[in-house]
Structure 1
Amino acid sequence: MYLENVVIDAREPQRLGRFWEAVLGGERLTDEPDGFETRLAVEGGPVLDLCLQRVPEPPPAPQRLHLDLRGGARQDQEVERLLGLGARRLDLDPRDLDRREVPGVVLADPEGHPCCVLEDRAAYAGTGPLAALSLDCAEPDRAAEFWSWLTGWTDVAGVAPRSLRHPSRRGPLLELRPEAAPKGPTKNRMHLDIRLETGDDPDDVAAGIAARGGRELPSEGAALPWRIFADPSGNELCVLPARS
C-alpha cells in the first residue's frame, strides 16, 4: 500500500486545480468538467497526485487537513507569488489554525481552503514546494501508528507531536496534530487516498484498519471501485484497488 492522492473538494475544479498546479509546479494528468488532476513528483522521493473533484457546497470550518508550503528564506516572495496566483490573506495566526509554534503566513486558496507558507526549518529540508500535509487528530500517537501502517511512511523529528515521512526522507511530512474539537458529521473537504498494490487483499486491509481504530463507511449511491474508511479520529480516507 502507498499514499497516492490528496483529494480536494472544489466548486470549480479547473480553476482551483490550475492554482495548485502553478503553486506546486505540478504535471497535469486530467482536465475534465468535474475533475482535475496534477502530479507532484519529488526527485528521489514520493509521487503524489492532487485530485480536484466537483462538489456544490462551500468548505466547512474548521479545515482538518490542509497543505503547508515551504517558504524558507524566500517566504515573503512566495507569499506574493501565491497572492498573484489568486490566494488571499487570512486574518489568522498560524497557531489558531493548528496550534503550531512554527511561524508562517496563513493564506487561503481561491475557494477558501487555508494553507500556510512556512519560514525555513531544518525539518522541511528536501520536501520540495509542499512542506507538509497537516492533519488534525484526536490522539497523535495512535494516528501515527495508523497512518504509518497504511502508507509505509515512518517517524521523523518535526515540529508536530508526531510526524511521518516517506522512507526516502524526501517529500512532504505528514504532520499529526491535536484537534481543537472532535470531528463532526460533515465530510472533510480534503482527504487522502491509499492505493493497494498487487497481492494486497482488500479484506485484510479493511480488517487491519479496524484493528487500528478505523472503520469502514458506507458508500452512497452506485457501487464504487474503491472503499471508504475513517481513521481513528473520524477523518475520511479511500482505499483504491491495485492497478491492473
Structure 2
Amino acid sequence: MALRLVQVNCKARDEKALGRFWAEALGWDVTGERPGATPVQPPGFVWPDPATVSLDVIAVPDPETVNDRVHLDLATTSADHQAALVARLKELGATAADVGQGDVPWTVLADPEGNVFCVLEPRPIYQDTGPIAAVVVNCAAPRAMARFWHEAMNWTLHEVSDDHARLRSATGAGPYLEFLRTADVNLGNRLHLDLAPYPQDDQAAEVARLRALGATDLDIGQGDASWKCLADPEGNAFCVLAPS
C-alpha cells in the first residue's frame, strides 16, 4: 500500500489571481476552475498524472501571514535562464524576499500573496523535474520525516542526513520532496500536500496506515468532506483525497 503525491494545495485570499500568477510562472494552464478553487496544471495534464505534481489554489478568508513551512523551488537550465525567469516573475508580480539567506546562488522571491519560493541556479539533479524542482519542507528532524514520508508514499530515498533529506517518486519522474533542518519551525501551513490512494486502494485503510506511522487527525474546519485531514509527526498538515 502507498499513496501518490498529486498536488500542492495553496491557500489564497484571491485564488483566481494567484492561480493566474502561478500558471504564468510555471508555463502551465488554469484548468477547470471550481468555486473557490483554481487548479494550475501542465498542458495536456490528465488527473492524476504519474509524472507531475500540480498546484491547487484554494480561497480562504484569512490565510496565515507568517512564513510557511513548505515552499517551492523552481528549476533552471542555465544562468541566463535563471536571470530571465527571475525578471519575468517580477514582471508578473513577484518581489524579492529576505529570509536570511545571505549571499547564495539562488534567488528568493515572494509571490503576490507573500508566499516565499526560490529560483535555483542550474543544478544537474533537477534537469528533468519540470519547472518545479522540489517541494521543500522546513523541519526539525529530516531523518525522521524522510522515514515517515518514505513509508507513506514509497518514494525513493536519494539523500538522508541530519540536515537534509531528499526523496523522489519511484518512477524517477517529477519534482523531489525535500526536508530541510531549520532552527525555527514554528511556521504557518499556507501550503500543504494532497495525497491520493491508488484506484484499487481504500482511503480509510490508507488513513489508518498513516496513523500507525505517526500521523494524527487534524481538524481545520473541513466538516464532512470527502478528503481526510492529517498532520505528519512534526505537525505539517496534509490531506488524503478519495481514490480516483
TM bracket, shorter-chain basis: 0.7 to 0.9
Paired letter, 2:136: S
The Cα shift of 1:70 comes to 1.2
Paired letter, 2:84: Q
User: d(CA) in 2 for partners of 1:158 and 1:93?
Assistant: 24
User: 3-state DSSP class of the match of 1:127?
Assistant: coil
CA RMSD across the alignment: 2.5
The reply to whether residue 50 of structure 1 matches residue 55 of structure 2 is yes
The reply to whether residue 211 of structure 1 matches residue 216 of structure 2 is no
Comparing 114-123 with 10-19, greater Cα deviation is found at 114-123
Counterparts of 1:123-202 in structure 2, within 5 Å, are 123-157=125-159, 161-183=164-186, 188-202=189-203
Counterparts of 1:13-24 in structure 2, within 5 Å, are 13-24=15-26
Paired letter, 1:231: D
Q: Taking structure 1 as reference, are residues 153 and 113 closer, same or farther at Cα in structure 2, changes over 3 Å only? A: same
Q: Which residue of 55, 77, 92 corresponds with 2:84?
A: 77
User: d(CA) in 1 for partners of 2:83 and 2:185?
Assistant: 34
Q: Which runs of 5 or more structure 2 residues have no equivalent in the other structure?
A: none
The Cα shift of 1:33 comes to 4.8
CA contact (8 A) 1:123 1:158 kept: no
User: d(CA) in 2 for partners of 1:141 and 1:68?
Assistant: 20
What residue in structure 2 maps to residue 119 of structure 1? 121
Paired letter, 2:70: L
CA contact (8 A) 1:216 1:229 kept: yes
User: 3-state DSSP class of the match of 1:81?
Assistant: helix
TM-score (norm 1): 0.87
User: d(CA) in 2 for partners of 1:108 and 1:206?
Assistant: 33
Paired letter, 1:216: D
Paired letter, 2:181: P
User: 3-state DSSP class of the match of 2:195?
Assistant: strand
The Cα shift of 1:42 comes to 10
CA contact (8 A) 2:146 2:160 kept: no
CA contact (8 A) 1:130 1:172 kept: yes
The Cα shift of 1:93 comes to 4.2
User: d(CA) in 2 for partners of 1:221 and 1:86?
Assistant: 31
The Cα shift of 1:221 comes to 5.7
What is the count of residue pairs matched by the alignment?
Answer: 236
Q: Which runs of 5 or more structure 1 residues have no equivalent in the other structure?
A: 96-100
